Amino acid sequence: MFHLLFLDAPAALRRDSRLFWLATLVFFLSVVFAFIIVQINAQAVLLIYDEQQLADFRRMYHPEWQVMMMQQRSSTGQFIFYLLNNNWVGIQLFLFGAMLGVGTLLFLGYTGFSLGLMIGYLSAAGYSNTLWPTIMAHSSFEILAILLAAVAGMKWGFSLVLIASPVRRREFGLRFAQSVLLLLNAIIFFAFAALIEAYWSSGFIASAQTKYIAGTLSWIILTGYFLYFSCFARKDERG
């Protein structure tokens, strides 16, 4: 697993850096765009969510409800729920690559837009004190996993045209194998995100300030680790 995470994943992203930056751009632009729309017109959230879902979101991030759930819930059960839910998103991003890679981009945009609407709505509704510390604590792992899954879906999807050429079918097989490797990395990072969310970020073990600090450090460490090991992998390949 060490080799998979600390060498294969960064090297794969370096190899497909254009797809990675494309996925990053589409995802974050979708999030920011949706967030701004909700601040301008709160009714925009109804483009995706219905009133019952919005009520569930408000209840989920209400301080009193969170205290009650901490007393009653099973952290293991929450971990399994987050793990299955997040991995399903990643698998869909991968499978939508069957639409020549465009399907992955569209679903990635939808995922970012949905997230942006939810965050924007809850922030405007006054739940920032419980929402943002929770998100910040595990967001680096979850967003990185989403981007890895998106790159995986686009990589094999864009190369589907190679199947038409008997000479280049082996190249498609190689790209598909590399895509599966990226998806496996995404699943691992989804597991890390689910662990943090279930056992730490959703509870009151740590203060909001601690969660902000830990979340910021995790973003810095993950970004640095990918940049460093991508350079290391490049030197290793040249050697």
Mark out the alpha helices in the chain (DSSP H runs). Answer: 2-3, 9-15, 17-40, 51-60, 63-72, 75-95, 102-124, 128-158, 169-196, 208-238
**pLDDT tens-place string over residues 54-108:** 998 888 887 766 555 555 566 788 889 889 999 999 999 999 999 989 999 999 9
pLDDT number for residue 224: 81
- Confidence band (pLDDT; 50, 70, 90) for 150? very high
Instruction: Report how far residue 225's alpha carbon sits from residue 227's, in angstroms, rounded to the nearest whole number.
Output: 6
The pLDDT assigned to 73 comes to: 63
Average pLDDT over residues 117-143: 90
Q: Using the predicted structure, report yes or no on whether residue 2 has a pLDDT greater than 70.
A: no
pTM: 0.88
Q: To 5 degrees, how large is the angle CA 156–CA 160–CA 166?
A: 125
Domain range list for the chain: 2-23+74-108+124-238
pLDDT one-digit tens code per residue, 168-224: 788 888 889 889 989 998 999 999 999 988 888 766 667 888 888 988 999 998 888
Rg from Cα positions in the chain? 19
Whole-Å CA distances, 33 to 11, 53, 112, 123, 196 = 31, 21, 9, 15, 27
